[in-house]
Amino acid sequence: MKVLCADCNRACCMEINSPPFGGSLDPEVLALPPDVRQDYERGMDGREFAGWPDGVPCFWLEDGRCRHYAHRPAVCRNFRPGSLGCLDWRKRHLLVEGLAP
C-alpha cells in the first residue's frame, strides 16, 4: 500500500498541541530565525495560558499546512509516510481503510 501525505489531512499534526521541539532552550529552537522563534515562543505561551489542552492541532498547522515548514523540528522532517507512526496516526483518524483505531 502506497501512503502519501496529500491524502491524510495531516493526521500527525492534529493532536500534538505544538511543534515537537524540546523546549525553548532546544538547539533547534535557538537556531530558528528570530521571527519564527518569536512565533514559536508566542504559541507556547498561548498554549500554557490555555492549560495545554489535549487533542488540539499543532499551532503551526494552518490551512492543512505547516506555517514554518522549512523550520519544522527534526522529528517532523524525519517522520515518513507509511511508517508505523504514520499508520498509527491514520488509524486514529480512520484514514487507513480496513484498520480500526
Domain boundaries, the chain: 5-92
49-62 burial, b if ≥16 CB within 10 A, otherwise e?
eeeeeeeeebbbbe
> 61 has which bridge partners?
66
State residue 94's pLDDT score.
64
pLDDT in tens, the chain (101 residues): 666 676 676 778 887 888 989 888 899 999 999 999 999 999 998 877 767 777 788 999 988 889 999 999 998 888 887 888 788 877 777 655 544 44
d(CA 83, CA 23): 26
State residue 100's pLDDT score.
42
State residue 73's pLDDT score.
93
Smallest Cα–Cα separation from 29: which of 39, 45, 58, 50? 39
State residue 1's pLDDT score.
60
